[in-house]
Each structure stands twice: as structure tokens, then as C-alpha cells.
Amino acid sequence: MLGKDFSSVERVFLSNFPCAFSPHLVAYPLAIFPMKNLLSIQSLDAQTINRIVALAKDVKAQRCFDPQGPLKGQCWALMFSKSSTRTRMSFEVGIRELGGSVMFLAADDIQLGRGEPIKDTARVMGRMAHGAVIRTFAQSDVEDFAAYSGIPTINALTDDEHPCQILSDLFTITESGFVDISKIKVAFIGDGDCNVARSWIWAAARCGFELRIASPSGFLPPAELVKEAGGKILLATDPREAADGVDVLYTDVWVSMGKESETAARMEQFKGFQINDSLCALAPDALVMHCLPAYREKEISEKTFEEHADTIFRQAENRLHAQKAVLKLIIGE
């Protein structure tokens, strides 16, 4: 049945779900997955990023629960080795609003917690689930899962990248009046070698906008990463230099998950890298954004956070709409 006219992706899909040909069961499209997986911003091009952002706008405007939606009859696995609020909720709500069902699996719920190789877990789940959303530590785990499972796989955060966050952020920026992404100037203030900053680097390289990263010495992104990405990436150890005249002031926590043992040292090293009135005065019309959770009076002052809370929480809400756009593109709608 799997003839030579099918692509390798389609053959993998059809071998996992042969019922695609049955008129009595769920009708899965054969011309599937124009974007097979979302593993990183690095793997996307500008056209795809802009397509996701545009679709997110439509999804938000037409938000509803549709039991007959494009994920009808599908069950997606959410595999989370790291805790989450916004990521878990936005994916669970989004998949259900598109007509699908969700199975949440923490690390202790599956054999990965007992040392089973990711490729074995992937080959089992690929025969049962219709897609997977993975939040874990190693980027290679997400990539190996996608390769061995043969089902759509979405990176919901790794130590290397946070693609869903940046797609949502770009949607929020365009929604706020910056229509042409390629013309914006973004300043990232904080840990320039964290997963969010790395995804910003790839987004800037792909879309052509200017990204300025200000971090203490020793926390700037690796030079080889910046060189590989290309684009207009400017590095600074003075946050004022980075913030001057930008369209977006962006920050994240100083201590990411897995770095808790470095908390005391980081609190000392990142002093002076807070987004506050003084920094905002250098870019008075800028959007102030934070991917949350926020620690007031550390990476952002309480006053600045509350003054820009509408943008920050709209940014959080838009995770739902951007991720629904990703899901729709992955399943070929």
C-alpha cells in the first residue's frame, strides 16, 4: 500500500496510522505536515515565521472551542520533564479548542524516568499518539524523539531554545503596531546565553531585525553561535547602550531552571541589568516584555512591571494563539 509516490514523511505517517485510508475512521490528510515539526527557531525561515504570526492573529480573532476542529479524533502527548504554568495550560487548552485530546506525562509517569532511551520511548509513542509536545533539558532529546517517533513533535522548551515563546512574542509585537518584523529593534537585557536569548538570536537572523543583547561579562552568548546565526546581532556589557532607542525592551529571569545552585552569585553579577525607569527613559516608546515568571526588583522593577503589565500578560495569553497556529500548520490546515 505504501507505494513509491509517497514521500518518506508520508510513509512514516501511514505506517503508524494505516487507518488514514478507511472511510469509517478519522480521515487524515495525505499531503501532510508542510511544517512537520517545530524543534527550534533555527530550523525555520522568515516566511514560515511570518506565516505563523499572521495565522496567530486570525486564530485569536476567531477563538472558539470546535469539537469538529482539525485535531478531532487525535490524542497528543505532553511530555514535561520541567515544571510549567503557561506552556502546559496553553497547549492543553489549545489542543482541546482544536478538537483534540491531551495526555499529560511527567518524567515520573513514563519509563524515561527510569532510564529508557528516548528513541525507544519515541518508537512506542509514535504508534499510539498523533503528536507530542516536549518540555525537557537536552535539545537532542526533542530532535531524537522527532526522528524516531515519526509523529509531529513540538519543542515546548529545552536548555537550548524556547521557540514557542519567541513566536508568541513576535505575534505580540506585531499586534502592538509593529507590522514589519524586519524593521524592529529589540534589546534583550539579562542572561544572553539562556534558551530564550538563543531563540531571539535565531529569530533576528532569520527575520532580519536588529537584536541587542546586554549581559554581564561571562553571560553573553557564545561567539560561535552569533557568528553562525549571522544577521544584526549586537553584544554589550552595558544595558544602557543596548536599550538606547529600541522598540522592545525584553528580559527574563536571571536564574533559569537548572541553575538554582548559582543563584547567589548571579544576583550579584546581574546587578545593574534591571529594566526600570532609568532604562525605559532611553526608549520611552518601547514595549516592555517579560516571558514570565517575573521576579520583581531583580530583572525588572515592580513599578515598571505593573506599568507594562497589559503587554506582559497579553504576551502570556498569546502563547495560546501562536501555538494553535503552529498546530494548524503542522497538521496541514
Enumerate the active-site residues.
135, 162, 165, 252, 291, 319
> Contact, 202 vs 232, CB < 8 A?
no
DSSP string, 154-216: EE---SS--HHHHHHHHHHHHHTT---GGG-EEEEES-TTSHHHHHHHHHHHHH--EEEEE--
Report in angstroms the alpha-carbon separations of 157 from 53, 58, 94, 257: 19, 25, 17, 11
CA 227 to CA 284: how far, in whole Å?
31
CA 289, chain centre distance (Å): 15
Non-local CB neighbours of 309 within 8 Å, separated by 6+ positions: none
And the C-alpha cell for 216?
A: 554581564
Rounded to a whole number of angstroms, the CA Rg of the chain reads 20
**Hey, what's the cell of 167?**
513566536
Q: Order the strands of the 185-189 sheet from edge to edge.
A: 232-236, 210-214, 185-189, 248-251, 287-290
Asked whether the beta carbons of 46 and 207 are under 8 A apart, the reply is: yes
Alpha helices in the chain (DSSP H): 8-16, 46-61, 86-97, 118-125, 139-149, 163-175, 195-207, 223-229, 239-243, 263-269, 277-280, 302-307, 309-330
211, amino acid identity: L
Could you tell me the three cell numbers for 132? Answer: 507530542
- Phi, psi angle pair for 180, to nearest 5°: -100, 105
3-state secondary structure of 109: helix
